[in-house]
């Protein structure tokens, strides 16, 4: 099974919709493909976020009683004596209640989802990947300080060849590399260190040119830029100034 075959079946596999044979094929592929395994983890993370209670609308206290009272008011005989302008019918009440609930739900989606920019989504995926990698045994797929060992390791695993450099002389030694999945695409990650701080450098092809920017997310520092045919993201608990120094080294090899 190829990575493309596996990626088209990950959702069905996650939801347990595949037959036994297909499930076993997927599991065998995932055991030997870190990129697809991380793609599955991303799918599961998205599914968990969707089911988060903050997306669920909780009606205010007393809503049921107010609706029942309004229904009783419209069904009592005295409504025939009321002015037509003030008569409230059940269909109108039902539509109003539906619009109220729909409006609140849409507002929740806008507030927590649709206002998120594509760059923020990518930044969150990069940070999530960095945090997963900090677990024991997850940081590197190939462990080496030699760029001539790390760079060839990616051959055949990606549809591009990432630039690999070592900056040990500047205090940022290369320690290895791995695969990860960002926005459904398998990408390369180079691992650098500064003292006891691990730095993940995500890199994939891009035609854009964007200057280096440094930001903070969930207590971690992030650096982002594009140029020379690649897009880069750095994630680390290293201080912002030293992270930007590495970004400038990678930007101008």
| Structural domains counted in the chain | 3
- Distance between CA atoms of residues 244 and 20, nearest Å: 49
Q: Please state, as a whole number, how many other Cβ atoms lie within 10 Å of the Cβ of residue 10.
A: 20
Domain that holds residue 105: 55-114
Residues 242 and 166 in one domain: yes
Same domain, 23 and 60: no
In the prediction, which pLDDT does 95 show?
58
Is residue 201 very low, low, confident or very high in pLDDT (cuts 50, 70, 90)? very high
Same structural domain for residues 67 and 183?
Answer: no
pLDDT at 143 > cutoff 60: yes
CATH of the domain at 243: 3.30.200.100
Among residues 67, 84, 114, the one where a domain terminates is 114
pLDDT in tens, 92-114: 556 565 655 555 555 554 444 44
Q: Which pLDDT belongs to residue 77?
A: 56
| Percent with pLDDT over 70 in the chain | 77
Asked whether residue 243 falls in the same domain as residue 132, the answer is: yes
Domain endpoint, select from 114, 131, 151: 114
Cα separation values, 128 from 52, 59, 195, Å = 17, 33, 22
With residue 13 as reference, give the H or E element that holds it: helix 3-14
Q: In percent, how much of the chain has pLDDT > 90? A: 46
26-83: per-residue pLDDT in tens?
888 888 888 888 888 877 777 666 665 555 666 777 777 777 777 777 666 554 445 4
Measure the CA–CA gap between 227 and 134, rounded to whole angstroms: 28
User: Residue 170 pLDDT more than 50?
Assistant: yes
């Amino acid at each position: 099974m190829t990575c493309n075959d596996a990626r088209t079946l990950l959702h069905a596999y996650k939801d347990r919709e595949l037959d036994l044979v297909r499930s076993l094929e997927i599991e065998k592929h995932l055991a030997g493909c870190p990129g697809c395994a991380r793609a599955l983890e991303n799918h599961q993370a998205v599914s968990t976020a969707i089911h988060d209670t903050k997306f669920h609308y909780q009606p205010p206290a007393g809503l049921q009683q107010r609706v029942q009272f309004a229904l009783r008011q419209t069904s009592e005989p005295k409504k025939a004596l009321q002015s037509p302008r003030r008569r409230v019918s059940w269909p109108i009440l039902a539509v109003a209640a539906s619009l109220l609930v729909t409006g609140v739900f849409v507002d929740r989606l806008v507030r927590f989802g649709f206002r998120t920019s594509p760059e923020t989504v990518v930044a969150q995926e990069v940070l999530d990947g960095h945090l997963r990698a900090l677990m024991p045994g997850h940081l590197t797929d190939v462990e080496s300080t030699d760029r001539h060992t790390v760079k060839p390791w990616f051959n055949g695993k990606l549809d591009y060849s990432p630039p690999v450099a070592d900056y040990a002389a500047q205090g940022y030694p290369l320690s290895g590399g791995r695969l990860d999945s960002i926005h459904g695409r398998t990408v390369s990650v180079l691992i650098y260190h500064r003292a006891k701080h691990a730095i993940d450098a995500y890199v994939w092809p891009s035609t854009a040119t964007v200057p280096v920017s440094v930001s903070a997310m969930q207590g971690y520092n992030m650096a982002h830029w594009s140029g020379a045919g690649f897009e880069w993201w750095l994630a680390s608990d290293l201080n912002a100034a030293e992270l930007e120094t590495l970004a400038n080294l990678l930007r101008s090899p």
